[in-house]
Structure 1
């Protein structure tokens, strides 16, 4: 793919991109999303807001993708991602004003197509980062290329927000949704039940990779529920449990001892819901703790990337994106992810989840 820059596009497209990139992004209250009633009028207002807001968010990322350090901008996978963002920007800007329910329905279909277009962004970015690692050497930590890590945090936080807004609007049109659902948000999400499903999925992947899987014990009240996005919570727990499964198996696979179980503990606090994932996988050296948040670091060999993000969870490890992106998911909703480790014993991950109140989107 030729390195076509924004200035190489038709003058009106380039000017529009630059102008939109100078506009301020408008954050959305997550409580507003949860309390949103999908009436015909509200869906029309939502579509009109997204018609104006999404091009601004996309333009911010396009201009940033064009000015990355260490030659990252010129990597073919990064050029591909930038092209997807430009294509989506042009589609949105060429869509006429939304005035009635018919316009809104057509716009919703466009949003669905854009969401599908961007489905492979994570795996494609992984290819670009892998090429960067090959260029600058394997012994790279977070502090060695801070500009890259800061960009990746901004980029993926923005992606979470864009996909949340699009997904929420599109999901409002799904017929016969359970009464506890408002788009993607469940007002009665059970962290214990979601943890069970995520653990089962992680164990399937582990068994496929190693032929075995440690036990996982889940502690908590299955009747406890709170408002959250189940798909986001599933993703975070899946990544954390997957890491623990791998650490335990790698440590015990050459011994005669049975691998100790992993513990998932769900606690309902006054401010936060906290989920703790504990393993006895040997822990992480203190010097390596900062590296676990690096997009350029993984303790496993990097697997081949198929170009399809839906294939990514089939590998146990190697991309280096699981933990940092999980932390961004938690922070998007006002929570956080912390990891504490005892070298020679094991690791505890604390996933702090804020109930969806008046938390504003953390726009990059």
Structure 2
């Protein structure tokens, strides 16, 4: 490992800029605002959007860069975390060195740049997972995970902020799409059918289960396929995929050597006045109560991490049945980003129910860490 100190190789001016911008106030937006604003992607609105991002993104990115430099247990100096920090500093520099946005050609150029920033940060999650793994290797195996609360809270803030940054960039870039999909405003689908998204996500999860185990339990979905509400389908797909994948794995492993037929996973979509709730139920044996607090931590996974330091896999394309134990905590952040939540209720010896609550109102502001 190189003994590169935080910020080495970056100019003093840049580091001072990060400190200055990192102390500014962030501005949150709501799903409803993104929808109303994006429904008229005029040249003027795209200009306003780019000007907003030109000021907002450096603040959000600087805050994360500062936090990355002062993590407990020496996590900041793990090679993988230094790499992530460099990505954030590079992106901050790109944004700050971009001139004021005054006309359409400025806005186009700016859009190309933030597209590149989004790609640069594609592998932040696996890379941070690798950093935490590097840390766990060095820490005493007997360390009490309660002591790692600080890292847990940092990662929650860090990933929540990342969801917001990617949503803002993705939304702006998508508004420029010359041929948008019907009923879509950027990333937001104004008439999204949760039943349809749940079906697609389940099929994706089942195909991975089939690949891994040679068979997969059925998934039955209950709910009105014609019911729609405005949401970001990519976010919902990710959350349902993760929940169904966990259920499939639990059922598959419980019934693998049994002559009984594996019971199906049941998905129920309920349409309430305030919330849309999606329940994913399985009979995969459940989780012991002592294990429940651990399922939302980033420092715990029952499966071995597919991202080994020595593997030269392309991080972007890998989806395995079980991973760096990040699926649940990150899914919960996606739910909370638009004012929802994710709860897991388990009956050890029987199975698990996951309740995904999505806010229907779209009015809640982004939770800004």
Shorter-chain TM band: over 0.9
Q: Provide, for residues 246-299 of structure 1, a one-character-per-residue CA deviation record: whole Å limited to 9, x for no partner.
A: 000111101111110000110000110000000000000010000000101111
Q: TM-score, normalised by structure 2?
A: 0.95
Judge which range, 298-307 or 174-183, deviates more.
298-307
How far apart, CA to CA, are the structure 2 residues paired with 1:255 and 1:286? Answer: 25
Q: Which residue of 2 aligns with 1:31?
A: 32
Confirm or deny that 1:76 pairs with 2:79.
Answer: yes
C-alpha displacement of 1:138: 4.7
Note the residue ranges of structure 2 that are not aligned, 5 or more in a row. none
Kindly indicate whether residue 280 of structure 2 is the aligned counterpart of residue 277 of structure 1.
yes
Report the RMSD for the aligned CA atoms in angstroms: 1.4
How much has 1:312 moved relative to structure 2?
3.6
Match of 2:359 in 1: 354
> Which residues of 2 match residues 161-172 of structure 1 at below 5 A?
161-172=164-175
Task: Name 2:90's counterpart in structure 1.
Answer: 87
Q: 1:310 aligns with which of 316, 339, 343?
A: 316
Quote the offset at 1:137 in angstroms: 4.2
Per-residue deviation, 1:356:
4.5
Please state how far the C-alpha of 1:14 moved relative to its aligned partner: 1.4
What aligned pairs does 1:196-207 form with structure 2 within 5 A after superposition?
A: 196-207=199-210
Q: Is the partner of 1:267 in helix, strand or coil?
A: strand
For residues 136-176 of structure 1, give each alpha carbon's deviation from its aligned partner in whole angstroms, at most 9, with x where no partner exists.
24566652310000000000000000000000000001121
Match for residue 219 of structure 1?
222
Change (3 A) 1:73 1:307: farther
Counterpart of 1:260 in structure 2 is 263
Distance 1:173 1:356, change over 3 A: farther
How far apart in 2 are the matches of 1:318 and 1:177? 34
State the SS of the aligned residue for 1:5: coil
Shift of 1:344: 0.2
2:115 aligned with 1:107, yes or no?
no
| TM-score, normalised via structure 1 length | 0.97
State yes or no: 1:331 paired with 2:336.
yes
Q: Displacement of 1:9 after TM fit?
A: 2.7
Aligned length: 363
Using a 3 Å threshold, how does the CA distance of structure 1 residues 319 and 140 change in structure 2: closer, same or farther?
A: farther
> What is the alpha-carbon distance in structure 2 between the residues aligned to residue 58 and residue 159 of structure 1?
9
CA shift, 1:208, in A, is: 1.2
Higher relative contact order (CA 8 A, sep 6+): 1
TM-superposed CA distance for 1:3, in Å, is 2.2
1:210 is the counterpart of 2:205: no
Counterpart contact for 1:122–1:309, Cα < 8 Å = no
C-alpha contact 2:6 2:82 (8 A) present in aligned 1: no
Tell me which moved more, 207-216 or 342-351: 207-216
Task: Give deviations 1:308-356, integer Å, cap 9, x for gaps.
Answer: 442342x111311000000000000000000000000000000000024
Tell whether 2:131 aligns with 1:133: no
2:221 is paired with a residue whose SS is strand
Distance 1:17 1:184 in 2: 29
In 2, distance between residues paired with 1:129 and 1:363?
23
Which runs of 4 or more aligned residues in structure 1 lie more than 6 Å from their structure 2 counterparts after TM superposition?
none
Query: Is the CA contact 2:238–2:331 (under 8 Å) kept in the aligned structure 1?
Result: yes
Does residue 344 in structure 1 map to residue 344 in structure 2? no
| 1:188 aligned residue (187, 191, 202) | 191
Q: Which residue of 2 aligns with 1:16?
A: 17
1:52 aligns with 2:47: no
Q: How far 1:7 sits from its partner (Å)?
A: 6.8
SS at match of 2:72: coil
Offset, 1:240: 0.3
> What CA distance in whole angstroms lies between the structure 2 residues aligned with 1:81 and 1:304?
16
Deviation, structure 1 residue 4: 3.4
Q: How many angstroms apart in 2 are the aligned matches of 1:345 and 1:43?
A: 52
